[in-house]
Structure 1
Amino acid sequence: MQSSLSTQIIGLAGLCQAVSLLQSLARHNKLEPELYETTLASIANLNPESPLAVYGNDITRLRDGLQIIVTQLGDGTKRDVEFTRYLVGVLALERKLNKNRGNMTELGKQLGQLERQLQHFAVTDETIVGRLADIYSDCISSLGSRIQVYGQPDVLKQTAVQQKVRALLLAAVRAAVLWRQAGGSRLHFIFQRRKLVAAAKHMLAQTTP
């Protein structure tokens, strides 16, 4: 994939949405259904016809993520430190995954098997969510860099919530792959922050009716 600012923004917005959903789940045990479905569906889209096809070929499905980019990377003072910690953690995990050929091969194999299951179940069905959680554990948690999830203990101890957390982290890593493939790197957050924010604002304007 050629380096592209617009594709970087799509990947980063997808990553931000996955992390935002994770926070909402861990803090309040709540998920916005449409965003949740879009985010999980991105995992199984292994050969998209375009970067935006990863998210249903609809930029409005990334509206929340685009807004988060503006808030988190902009010049305002509303940055969420916990959110930044998740973002850094996911990007670090993706780098480790990219360097581990064995885990990458296994991930591709398991996601290929998942495609067959999706012919019979919705992506948000507990059967699929459980499978996504297992894939995360098998292929990414095994890399050794666990992400500490913060929230309500009585929520996080629930098995169903734990599975959703892992599924959302897998979706976040998938978005991070798209970000990296388009040329995104940690240095962009330092030296191209304003450019990223401007591009996100431009895309955000396209989501306004």
Structure 2
Amino acid sequence: MTDSSNSPPVDRSLVDRTLALAGLLQALAQVRRIAETGQANGDVLTTSLDSVFRIDAASPADVYGGQAALRPGLTLLREYFGSRLKDEQLPRLALAVIQLERRFVADDAMARRVRDGIVAQQAPAERQGSTHPEVMSALGDLYAATLSHLRPRVLVQGNPHYLGQPDVVAEVRAVLLAAVRSAVLWRQLGGSLWDLLLRRRQIVAAVEQLLR
């Protein structure tokens, strides 16, 4: 546990980047849960998939419907930096998504195709909800047709019984799209891998501030 009274002041930009990182981990934790059990946490799944459609949100917190919705992801961040994270696959997945995001934003044609695909699902998501099976299937198909062709591929391990079911695979891909959305936001806010190496204490302080 970090003693927040001894933590350095946390600037707003780092707090915002921490929210995006929490969104990334939170989405990937759901990817892992779906791959292992075939089921997601409904509220957390909604937070992740809603973020895909909030392309022009007023603030990083608004992307996720408020910072309170990121409490699970913030808790995962605290566990990671405290070397208490139970799922060893989660940091590897996060690194793969961060690397994938760099290739994605460098491909203008693919970025436009993904944005157009998301916009096409905006009305159904508003009408039926972002977690409706048809919406998730469309988002999963969009990921499969675009981001899945980039390298490095994000390899999700789990229970073969569930990963052999098309609806589960579609859900995993849809949430991976949400994870990439958080990675894009993180970069847009100035995030880089150097943050994770050189600003760990400040990120932990931001996490504690947000969890309070």
2:78 to 54, 70, 85: 70
Q: Partner letter of residue 144 of structure 2?
A: S
Any conservation in 2 of the 1:11–1:176 contact (CA below 8 Å)?
yes
| C-alpha displacement of 1:187 | 1.2
Show the 5 A alignment for 1:139-154: 139-154=146-161
Q: Does 1:176 align with 2:210?
A: no
Is 1:86 aligned with 2:103? no
| CA deviation vs aligned residue, 1:20-75 (integer Å, no higher than 9, x gap) | 1111111122211111111100001111011111111x22110000001111122x
Mapping of residues 28-107 of structure 1, within 5 Å: 28-56=37-65, 58-74=66-82, 76-78=83-85, 80-107=87-114
Point out the more displaced range, 130-139 or 157-166: 130-139
Provide TM-score, normalisation by structure 2. 0.90
Q: How far apart in 1 are the matches of 2:150 and 2:84?
A: 34
Q: Secondary structure of 1:120's match?
A: helix
Give the deviation of 1:110 after TM superposition: 1.3
Shift of 1:169: 0.4
RMSD, aligned α-carbons: 1.4
Residue matched to 2:19:
10
Q: Which runs of 5+ in 1 are unaligned?
A: none
Match of 1:199 in 2: 206
Worse overlay, 136-145 or 186-195: 136-145
The answer to whether residue 31 in structure 2 is matched with residue 22 in structure 1 is yes
Could you list the structure 1 runs, at least 4 aligned residues long, displaced by more than 3 angstroms after superposition: 76-80
* Contact 1:72–1:80 (CA under 8 A) maintained in structure 2: no
Runs of 5+ unmatched residues, structure 2: 1-11
In the aligned structure 2, how far is the partner of 1:144 from the partner of 1:161? 23
Using structure 1 for the length normalisation, give the TM-score: 0.92
Q: 1:132 to 1:8 in 2, by over 3 A?
A: same
- Name 2:134's counterpart in structure 1: 127
Q: Partners of 1:154 and 1:35 in 2: how far apart? A: 23
Counterpart in the other structure of 1:109: 116
The percentage of counterpart residues that share the same residue type is 32
Contact 2:103 2:151 (8 Å CA) reproduced: no
